[in-house]
């Protein structure tokens, strides 16, 4: 298929694809899959509803032919999908794809890190919200200790998945007291710690603006202990604002999706585990690519569908959040991936 660039109504090109490979997770992070909702009775997708690796690879090829350069595997917890390294190696063979990354909670990563690297994974992001077990366990809600995630971060670095990114969602009154200790822990390690403003994704995490700690406040708190200065973005549309320690101890990032929206340069598309295409993290409805795949559509037909959906894209949720016209039934984070 000939490679082309497609742009949306705001002239934003399609460049990134985030694929949720499963809607299941072994954690119940209170800000993502609260136990009261994602309990015993919750109906997760069945096996035949999930896209197979072959289907994911075929769609990925079509996305790459329409401008996608980077793919990130996410979930739910992507390492719950059996033999995920096979999918990584299938994707690594796609001509024109420059980058394959994964976001994981790290709980199942230690025995997989090397195989993932060998399969062609280029980068890994491990989520960790606190170094303090009581705090971390209250957030993951399954008593998973922080030390095991730290070991997984080291295992990733040993496997050559460097620099490892470590993502911390900051919630006021829950783990904001750990901003400085997390920064201190990851200084001089080569890992890049990134702070994420608590977001109003989905409809079940009870989001409140006063529980969000702003990027400006995070910068202020770190700067008071170890002075930092901004660094230019690596590329157009980079989500994290970058800072470096003036004493040379490394770099941090801040993802300020609530207070400093970056919709105007948003080049990301998202595919759920059951093949629904979303053009915004805060989407309400997906576009069904699985039916198209399974009804025998050709690559050209699927490509035309993708071009049409992207061409009609108008999303700028984070920018309009403050206008009060936001939808109520947004897709859940565990379905769409981070
Ligand atoms: N299970 C994997 C993990 O936790 O890394 C991948 C999926 S998870 C949905 C992707 C990222 O989204 C994680 O870093 C998680 O902390 C973040 N996340 C989930 N809910 C969030 C929220 N309400 N606000 C900000 N970030 C959130
Ligand atoms: Fe699972 Fe990741 Fe959501 Fe936590 S943030 S519940 S680890 S999908
Ligand atoms: Fe992109 Fe939607 Fe996030 Fe804006 S709100 S940056 S359009 S995903």
- Ligand 1 centre distance from Cα of residue 14 (Å): 22
User: What's the token pair of residue 81?
Assistant: 């999908």
pLDDT (mean) for 78-101: 98
Strands across the sheet with 70-74, in order?
228-231, 241-245, 251-255, 192-197, 165-170, 123-127, 99-104, 70-74, 16-20, 268-271, 276-278, 287-288
Q: Does domain 16-336 have CATH number 3.20.20.450?
A: no
Distance from C-alpha of 188 to C-alpha of 170, rounded to nearest angstrom: 22
Distance from C-alpha of 313 to C-alpha of 308, rounded to nearest angstrom: 9
Q: What is the pLDDT of residue 38?
A: 96
Confidence of residue 322 (pLDDT cuts 50, 70, 90): low
Please choose, from the candidates 228, 234, 217, the residue with its C-alpha nearest in 3D space to the C-alpha of residue 187: 228
Q: Return the residue whose CA atom lies nearest to atom 7 of ligand 1.
A: 75
Confidence of residue 236 (pLDDT cuts 50, 70, 90): confident
Q: Return the residue whose CA atom lies nearest to atom 6 of ligand 3.
A: 263
Handedness of CA 277, 279, 284, 287 (dihedral sign): negative
Note the ligand closest to the C-alpha atom of 104.
1
- Ligand 3 centre distance from Cα of residue 227 (Å): 30
Examine the pLDDT at 70 and tell me if it is beyond 90: yes
Q: What is the pLDDT of residue 320?
A: 83
- Ligand 3 centre distance from Cα of residue 151 (Å): 33
Residue spans of the domains in the chain: they are: 16-336
List, for residues 286-311, the tens digit of each pLDDT value.
Answer: 999 999 999 999 999 999 999 999 99
List, for residues 10-49, the tens digit of each pLDDT value.
Answer: 999 999 999 999 999 999 999 999 999 999 999 999 999 9
* Ligand 1 interacting residues, C-beta cut-off 6 A: 25, 31-32, 74-75, 77, 103-105, 127, 167, 169, 196, 198-199, 201, 205, 333-334, 337-338
- Which of 24, 74, 75, 170 most suits a substitution to test ligand 2, by most atoms within 8 Å of the C-beta? 75
pLDDT (mean) for 321-338: 67
Average pLDDT, the chain: 94
Note the ligand closest to the C-alpha atom of 128.
1
Q: What is the pLDDT of residue 200?
A: 83
Q: Return the residue whose CA atom lies nearest to atom 2 of ligand 3.
A: 280
Contact predicate 85/104, CB 8 Å = no
Note the ligand closest to the C-alpha atom of 270.
3
List, for residues 132-152, the tens digit of each pLDDT value.
Answer: 999 999 999 999 999 999 999
Note the ligand closest to the C-alpha atom of 28.
2
DSSP annotation of 276 reads: E
Contact predicate 78/84, CB 8 Å = yes
Entry pTM: 0.96
List, for residues 167-218, the tens digit of each pLDDT value.
Answer: 999 999 999 999 999 999 999 999 999 999 999 877 777 788 889 999 999 9
Confidence of residue 332 (pLDDT cuts 50, 70, 90): confident
């Amino acid at each position: 298929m000939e490679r082309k660039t497609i742009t949306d109504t705001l002239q934003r090109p399609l460049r990134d694809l985030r694929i949720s490979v499963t809607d299941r997770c072994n954690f119940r992070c209170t800000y993502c899959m609260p136990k009261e909702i994602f309990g015993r009775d919750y109906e997760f997708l069945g096996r035949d509803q999930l896209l197979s690796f072959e289907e994911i690879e075929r769609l990925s090829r079509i996305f790459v032919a329409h401008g996608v350069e980077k793919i990130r595997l996410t979930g739910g917890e992507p390492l719950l999908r059996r033999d995920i390294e096979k999918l990584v190696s299938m994707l690594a063979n796609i001509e024109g794809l420059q980058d394959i990354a994964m976001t994981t909670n790290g709980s199942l990563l230690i025995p997989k890190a090397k195989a993932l690297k060998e399969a062609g994974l280029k980068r890994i992001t491990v989520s960790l919200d606190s170094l303090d077990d009581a705090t971390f366990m209250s957030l993951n809600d399954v008593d998973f200790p922080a030390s095991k995630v730290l070991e997984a971060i080291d295992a990733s670095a040993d496997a050559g998945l460097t620099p490892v990114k470590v993502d911390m969602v900051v919630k006021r009154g829950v783990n904001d007291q750990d901003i400085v200790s997390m920064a201190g822990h990851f200084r001089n390690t080569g890992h890049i710690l990134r702070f994420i403003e608590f977001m109003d994704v989905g409809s079940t995490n009870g989001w409140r603006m006063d529980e969000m700690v702003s990027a400006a406040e995070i910068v202020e708190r770190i700067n008071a202990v170890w002075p930092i200065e901004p660094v230019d973005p690596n590329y157009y549309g980079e989500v994290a604002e970058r800072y470096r320690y003036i004493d040379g101890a490394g770099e941090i990032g801040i993802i300020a999706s609530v207070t400093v929206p970056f919709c105007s340069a948003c080049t990301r598309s998202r595919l759920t585990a059951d093949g629904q295409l979303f053009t915004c993290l805060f989407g309400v409805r997906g576009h069904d690519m699985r039916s198209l795949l399974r009804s025998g559509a050709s690559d050209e037909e699927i490509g035309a569908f993708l071009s049409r959906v992207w061409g009609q894209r108008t999303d700028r949720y984070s920018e309009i959040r403050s206008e009060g016209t936001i939808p109520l039934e947004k897709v859940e984070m565990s379905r769409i991936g981070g």
